[in-house]
Amino acid sequence: MSDATTLKIAALQAKLNQKLGPEYISQRPGPGGGPKLTYAEGWKIINLANEVFGFNGWSSNVISLTTDFIDFNEESRRYTVGTTAIIRVTLRDGVYHEDIGYGMLENSKSKGGALDKCKKEAVTDGLKRALRNFGNLLGNCLYDKSYTQEVIKIKVPPVCPTKAQISNVLCFTSPNLTKMSYTDVQNSKNQNLISPPLLLPLNPKFLTILTPPFNTR
């Protein structure tokens, strides 16, 4: 192994040893009204993986996706569905980790809708669990109860973009890409725009507004 490779690995390891800041952490009620669960949303972990490994430095594969059960209640006419996914995350050098994810939905009116949600949930859960094997920065720190108990106490101030920050925005209106000023955005009556506009910071110099048919989830 060359010195350059050794230094690169050491630098990557140093990044992965860092723990998530409070802005990456969310909470939700536990099953059956139990203690709150601390977690990181899937899109945040994916963004971190892109920053750490590079957008072309890692990939994920669905090794298996299994529907465990589909229960139909004759009285309520609703479905309860559970699915399991095994996900593999592979780095550019061939190193990989696999883990299992699970998705479940109760009392769904639609069988297809329940399967759709459960499969996506299982894949996202498996992806997060596979990524956390690479280190604290990608979610492994969330399994340290002493850490989570302290980090959730830290209040994160809301992000409020200034007019200067969004004086130059890119407005995605299908099919054309046009520029709009802050005032134009505020006064726009274009029905294609999300109201209020969804602003996602991509660069200190500008923000983007996602509009249909772009997926905002």
Q: Provide the residue-wise pLDDT of the chain in tens; the chain has 217 residues.
A: 788 888 888 999 999 999 999 999 999 888 777 788 999 999 999 999 999 999 999 999 999 999 999 999 999 999 999 999 999 999 999 999 999 999 999 999 999 999 999 999 999 999 999 999 999 999 999 999 999 999 988 887 776 666 555 554 444 444 444 444 445 545 544 433 333 333 334 344 333 333 334 343 4
- d(Cα 26, Cα 42) in Å, to the nearest integer? 11
Q: Domains along the chain?
A: 3-151 (3.30.390.80), 159-217 (no CATH)
**pTM for the model:** 0.71
- d(Cα 208, Cα 25) in Å, to the nearest integer? 24
Q: How many CB atoms lie within 10 A of CB 58?
A: 19
Q: Quickly tell me which residue has 């772009």 as its tokens.
A: 214
Helix axis angle, 111-132 relative to 42-53, nearest 10°? Answer: 40
Q: Quickly tell me which residue has 């989570």 as its tokens.
A: 148
Query: Six-digit token pair at 47?
Result: 């963004």
- d(Cα 88, Cα 129) in Å, to the nearest integer? 10
**CA–centroid distance for 98 within its chain:** 18
Asked if 136 and 152 touch (Cβ cutoff 8 Å), the reply is: no
